[in-house]
Amino acid sequence: MSEARSGGLSLLRDLPPAGFEEHFLTLLERPGLRIERIVSDGQVSPPGFWYEQAEDEWVLLLQGTAELEYRDDTRIMLTAGDSLLIPAGCAHRVAQTASRTVWLALFFPPA
In CATH, what number is assigned to the domain containing residue 49? 2.60.120.10
For residue 104, what pLDDT is reported?
A: 98
Residue 64 resides in a domain: yes
Q: How far is CA 92 from CA 28, 51, 74, in A?
A: 24, 5, 9
Q: Which helix (H) or strand (E) holds 37?
A: strand 33-40
Residue 102 belongs to domain spanning: 37-111
- Predicted confidence (pLDDT) per residue in 9-19, tens digit: 889 998 999 99
Q: Per-residue confidence at 1, pLDDT binned at 50, 70, 90?
A: very low
Q: How far apart are CA 70 and CA 51, in angstroms?
A: 10
For residue 11, what pLDDT is reported?
A: 94
Domain count across the chain:
1
Cα-Cα end-to-end distance for the chain: 29
Cβ contact 74:5 at 8 Å? no
- Predicted confidence (pLDDT) per residue in 39-74, tens digit: 999 999 999 999 999 999 999 999 999 999 999 999
